[in-house]
Structure 1
Amino acid sequence: MSQGDDYKAIEWQDDLENDQVATVHLLAICPGYQGRSLGIRILEEAEEIAGRNGKKALRLDALKTNIPARRMYEKAGFSYKGEQRLYAENTGMTDFLFYERSIFTDVQTGPTGSGRDTELMKEYIDKRVHKLYWDEDLNCARTTLICLSELFKVPLEEQVLSSAIGLHGAGKYGAQCGLVEGSLMFIGILYQSMEKTENDIVEACYDFAKQFEEEFGSLRCCRLRPTGFSKNDPPHMCEQLTGKAVLFSYEYINGSL
């Protein structure tokens, strides 16, 4: 469906024309089928259809009071973008929340076999990292988790993202880098969803850490970010490193599957 006029007042992640956006205005699951993640599967299918039709984003709205729907959208990877008080025939004047998820269409998920594929993936990741850093002001661990979840189409619980709030060098202490922490967390989430054993997950984390250290020279924030953290640092000074690390993590995970 197309966007309504009420969507124009929202500050969306990307400035897109109407024909570049798909919109879900109503999503309902029969009570007898609720609790089976069908809503998320429907949204994933909607994204696939929208992507095949050249859309760049999937947008939707929800009643502010509809907490289960809001949690589902956030779990499915949608980002909150704004709120408006609008009139609806069945509710009268009501507060609505608006959500958006970018559609990954420029490159295909899967091993980056050709140089062109790798370059397209790098461009996509760099753009996504930039937006998560500067528009959402997220740290490296949460940015890594979100990027990988979108690339592999694995929804994240809000609690998972919350657990990574202080993982940028252990709250700026300079300990293990958030790029490593976020990737290790995602490996556990992805492998568990694939019914891998705990031993498989442990071995994959060990091997990832070893290869990351060989590629970047260290696992520690104080080494990867030699200046440490100070009030005089420019914001998000690890942006370039983050893009490289997310691409490395993506290629490592793809190669391990």
Structure 2
Amino acid sequence: MSIRLAVFLPASSSRPVTALAAVALIAMAAPAWAINWRESVAEASTSNPELASARSNLQAADSRIQAARSGYYPQVSAGVRYQDNSGAAVIPGSAYGASATATQNLFAGFQDVARVEQASANAQVARSDLIAVRAQISYALKLAYATLRYVQEAVTLTEAIMRRTEENLRLVQLRFEGGRENKGSLLLTRATLKQSQLDNLQSRQAIPSAQAQLARALGRADPSGLRAIDDVPVSEPPKDPDFPTLAAAVPEFRRTQAQESAARADVRINRSGFYPTLDL
């Protein structure tokens, strides 16, 4: 893959500016990786490490609900005994034995119910955390994708402006040499060309940063060659939103409610020691 780069700098440019342009316009050997919005959403939902961690936390919390229900089931224990009396002087021989015991708790001071309620509340906390992480990743993905799309278009636009300004400069130069243009117009056109070159340079420098932000949202380790090929869809918000309902659906609010329920269940667990227990 060959990439042709052109640096439009006048001969009077200073060395620092020339070096900066050379660094910003280094060709990358990696091929371009075009990705549309739907593909970016699908990749982020499966590869983002923060989202995967939140899902694992929710699965663990759901498993702890089943573990908390263990108090409702009987406890079974079994044992095997072997005794070797072959060296005994009175009754030589061997003895075998097996035993099994089953117990069922009938009442534990409401501790079992409280443990299930606490585990369910903690699962709700993990579910709210997952929703919050999804919202954060969605925002980061939209921002990164739109930023990369904007920077790409800015590079194309500044390149067109730079080419047009070059043509204008050549025309003004010819008119100046023919005595039909003043020196002020020539200097102004040169300054405009330098400004367009700087704008193009800044746009190119912004591409690696925008690619890195998008790669982070996608869960990629290598941002090289990423290109956004379409726009982020926009939906109209409702005209008359129900703010109380929307506020109650905020993940932080639901998380706080679940934490309150878990704390109440913890109080009931601690109070269970004041009640008698009954086993069968």
The TM-score, its normalising length taken from structure 1, stands at: 0.21
Structure having greater relative contact order (Cα 8 Å, sep ≥ 6): 2
Choose 1 or 2 for highest CA Rg.
2
